Amino acid sequence: MSTPADNPCLTCGACCASFRVDFSPEELQSRGGCVPDGLAVELGDTLARMRGTDHARPRCAALVGTVGEKAGCGIYEWRPGPCREFGMLAPLGRGDEACARARLRHGLTPLG
């Protein structure tokens, strides 16, 4: 039986430093959601984006630590929907194609 401590998503951080994170502005705290407004940019009535994820070398503003060593989401409980949906197999020690791409980008081996 796996435990939360076995979940590589809670220490890896490669996805947080690889992909753009777009979500509905309704997820922002100012609109009744959980995502802190200061960590996101509203791009219009229907789109918000986590700060730092649209840079040439993406790194989410909520990511803390060193990718691949000890990294995690500083707002894990309040992260937006796309982050909640990413890496659903990781708690089982398995990654998907996007997870593998992110890990390879940072010199990490893909999950089993």
DSSP state, residue 20: -
Nearest partner of 6 among 110, 92, 85, judged by Cα: 92
Per-residue model confidence (pLDDT) at position 4: 52
> pLDDT tens across 16-35, in order?
999 999 999 999 999 999 99
Inside any domain, residue 2: no
> pLDDT tens across 75-86, in order?
999 999 999 888
Inside any domain, residue 1: no
Number of domains in the chain: 1
* pTM attached to this predicted model: 0.87
* Dihedral sign from CA coordinates of 86, 90, 96, 101: positive
* Segments in the chain below pLDDT 70: 1-6, 90-91
User: Cα–Cα distance between 39 and 49 in angstroms, integer?
Assistant: 9
The parent domain of residue 80 ranges over 8-106
